[in-house]
Amino acid sequence: MDLQNPASTAIVFQYNPETMTRSLQPQFSGEGAADTTDYSRVKGAPIETMRLEVEIDATDYLASGDAVSNAVGIHPQLAQLELLLYPKSTLIAWNNVQINAGSLEILPPAAPMTFLVWGLKRVIPVRLTEVSVTEEQHDADLNPIRAKVSLGLRVLSYNDLPNGGPGYYAFIAHQVAKEGLATMRGVTSAGSVLGGGIQLF
């Protein structure tokens, strides 16, 4: 999503990745502090990272006579993913103009705001932290026609995003949905698990 332009670009996975690895690291405010009363206080959402592998294959497109695949293979799909790590070239050029004009402070260009849409239950803002491409097959012109792409993602929470932006509200909605899902199979009380009418709280 380009915040300067209402039009968004969707990169559709050709196949659903078979696995996703997720890691959540809690952020406790009392870690390393002498005050033991803060041991259970969390200062925000956990730091969540994800890793998934995407397969891209031009076989079906080539069999149907697709002109783009015949000309350049899967270069366009790879370029779409890789460009999530790049600032726009127009912003680079504009910053160079400002530098040559004598501007003293130039902000680094921003990368696109990226959302991972993993079904209706997960629409989350993410930062792409790694793209690793294994090109497995090429055509006669050395265009890749089959590849595996390993993606590393860091979920951006309300701790990372400006208040009021689309990413901020998307993460809030994601957490609210997670809280709702947690109640669907939730336990009403610890005593009911232990039996005997034990009241722990």
**Predicted local confidence at residue 69, as pLDDT:** 95
Query: In the chain, what are the domain boundaries?
Result: 20-194
Q: What DSSP state is assigned to residue 200?
A: -
Residue 5: both structure tokens together: 């332009």
Distance CA 147, CA 37 (A): 52
Burial tier of 17 (Cβ tally within 10 Å: 0-12, 13-18, 19+): middle
What's the pLDDT band for 6 if we cut at 50, 70, 90?
low
**Predicted local confidence at residue 170, as pLDDT:** 92
Are the beta carbons of 126 and 115 closer than 8 angstroms? yes
Edge-to-edge order in the sheet of strand 114-117: 20-25, 47-57, 144-155, 123-138, 114-117
Whole-angstrom CA distances from 172 to 44, 48, 97, 150 are: 12, 14, 39, 27
State pLDDT tens for residues 83-115.
888 877 777 787 788 778 877 566 676 667 899
In this prediction, residues 166-184 reach a mean pLDDT of 90
In this prediction, residues 23-39 reach a mean pLDDT of 72
Helix (H, G, I), strand (E, B) or coil at 56: strand
In this prediction, residues 154-182 reach a mean pLDDT of 90
Are the beta carbons of 159 and 128 closer than 8 angstroms? no
**Predicted local confidence at residue 4, as pLDDT:** 62
CB neighbourhood size of 26 (10 A): 11
Residues β-bridged to residue 154: 49, 127
**Predicted local confidence at residue 1, as pLDDT:** 78
State pLDDT tens for residues 110-155.
667 899 999 888 899 999 999 999 999 999 999 999 999 999 999 9
Residues in the chain: 201
Q: What percent of the chain has pLDDT over 90?
A: 47
**Predicted local confidence at residue 192, as pLDDT:** 64
* Site of tokens 């947690």: 182
Phi, psi of 98 (to 5 degrees): -65, -40
In this prediction, residues 166-174 reach a mean pLDDT of 91
| Residue closest to 125 by CA, chosen among 136, 139, 111, 138 | 111
